[in-house]
Chain A
Amino acid sequence: DAKTTQPNSMESNEEEPVHLPCNHSTISGTDYIHWYRQLPSQGPEYVIHGLTSNVNNRMASLAIAEDRKSSTLILHRATLRDAAVYYCILRDVNSNYQLIWGAGTKLIIKP
């Protein structure tokens, strides 16, 4: 079973920042937090991952709470192309570090 909790859906306006929350209260010290997204009619694609420190890449930023029990994916300026289901995933030793998927958050972008 997935070890993360995410809202079912969120809405945002185009060209505004989006903060997608994820709770992972049972995280252990060696678990990595990964984010993927799945655009309509496509396979999932990698967004970002982190362990303890905040991370930035060309797609997004990942803010990890100090106690690591939650994290937030930040899209700095959402476009219509960012409408997708976003998955927050813990990769842990108990699952052989495989991706265990939950239901994700469906992000709706309003023009």
Chain B
Amino acid sequence: ETGVTQTPRHLVMGMTNKKSLKCEQHLGHNAMYWYKQSAKKPLELMFVYSLEERVENNSVPSRFSPECPNSSHLFLHLHTLQPEDSALYLCASSQGSSRVETQYFGPGTRLLVL
């Protein structure tokens, strides 16, 4: 138990659906992250929020839309996804975003797009 929870753990959706992934951290951290882990590819950083402000967006397609309503919650809204978006989506948090901060990861949401 890392103090970072993600729901749902598994999700199957069609290309025309709209769904949301939820992440919650119980660690009092100020930074939260979304990562994508595709089969046989390294983890890719998607979004970074620090103190609820988005500080980094690594050119992720607009069909992924993050939301950070407060420092404990992070959402990833999904719409009109493609089959190649099927992956494990990981949320993480850290106290800050400096080069020594440890990131704590949730268990991930396994997404399958049909």
Contacts and interface: CB of A to CB of B under 8 A. Distances in A.
Q: Report whether over half of chain A's contact residues are helix, strand or loop; otherwise say mixed.
A: loop
Max chain A CB contacts within 10 Å: which of B4, B43, B90, B102? B43
Contacts of B102: 46, 49
Interface stretch (B70-78, B79-87, B91-99): B91-99
For the side of the interface on B, what is the size category? 20 to 34
B106 to A, nearest CB: 5
Contact of A98 (B45, B90, B107, B108): B45
A43 B35 CA distance: 10
A43 B56 contact: no
A43 B105 contact: yes
Contacts of A31: 99
Contacts of A99: 43, 45, 103
B25 to A, nearest CB: 12
Interface string A7-45: 000000000000000000000001110001000011111
B107 A42 contact: yes
Contacts, number: 53
A91 interface: yes
Given A32-B100, A91-B99, A44 B48 contact: no
A43 B108 contact: yes
Contacts of B108: 42-43
A2 B45 CA distance: 12
A33 to B, nearest CB: 10
B69 interface: no
Interface of B: 2, 4, 42-45, 48, 56, 90, 92, 97-100, 102-108
